[in-house]
């Protein structure tokens, strides 16, 4: 053995237990218009998803949208549609746009003040 990771109070302590265990599809890169990166990470994620169904679980994520926020409903909808297309997301797992009532039903603890709605997308 050439490499060992020892976690007991070393510089990398707890990294294994604190991982989200998600195979990210690169949504954050879309914000920076790195379309090629989103497509590449989406293809790689699809390979893991198809070849390892026993270790992958689709998880629906919620992006709440508030008045004065960075992106509105229209921009968020376009962004999530681009993400779904570039990342090759299955039809059944594509984005869903929600009004404020639906958003609160999905996540009652989201800040209600200025809530305009939300968008959901799937991470693996």
**Domain range for residue 92?**
27-123
pLDDT score of 53: 87
CA–CA separation, 12 and 119 (whole Å): 34
pLDDT score of 26: 83
Query: How many domains in the chain?
Result: 1
CA–CA separation, 66 and 44 (whole Å): 32
Structure tokens at 61: 């994520």
List pLDDT tens digits, range 53-95. 888 889 999 999 999 999 999 999 999 999 999 988 999 999 9
For tokens 């070849």, name the residue. Answer: 51
CA–CA separation, 95 and 81 (whole Å): 7
pLDDT score of 6: 65
**Is 20 part of any domain?**
no
**Is 7 part of any domain?**
no
pLDDT score of 76: 95
List pLDDT tens digits, range 92-114. 999 999 999 999 999 999 999 99
**Is 13 part of any domain?**
no
CA 79 to chain CA centroid, nearest Å:
12
Pick from 31, 26, 36: nearest CA to 89:
26
**Is 10 part of any domain?**
no
**Is 89 part of any domain?**
yes
Q: Report yes or no on whether pTM surpasses 0.85.
A: no
From 17-26, 47-56, 95-104, the region with the lowest mean pLDDT: 17-26
**Is 1 part of any domain?**
no
């Amino acid at each position: 053995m050439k490499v060992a990771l020892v976690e007991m109070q070393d510089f990398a302590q707890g990294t294994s237990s604190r991982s989200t265990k998600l195979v990210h599809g690169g949504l954050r890169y879309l914000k920076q218009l790195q379309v090629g990166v989103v497509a590449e990470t989406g293809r790689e994620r699809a390979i893991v998803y198809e070849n390892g169904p026993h270790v992958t679980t689709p998880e629906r994520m919620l992006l709440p949208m508030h008045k004065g926020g960075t992106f509105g409903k229209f921009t968020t909808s376009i962004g999530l549609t681009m993400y779904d297309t570039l990342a090759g997301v299955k039809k059944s797992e594509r984005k869903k746009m929600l009004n404020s009532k639906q958003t609160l039903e999905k996540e009652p603890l989201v800040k209600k003040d200025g809530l305009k709605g939300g968008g959901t997308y799937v991470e693996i």
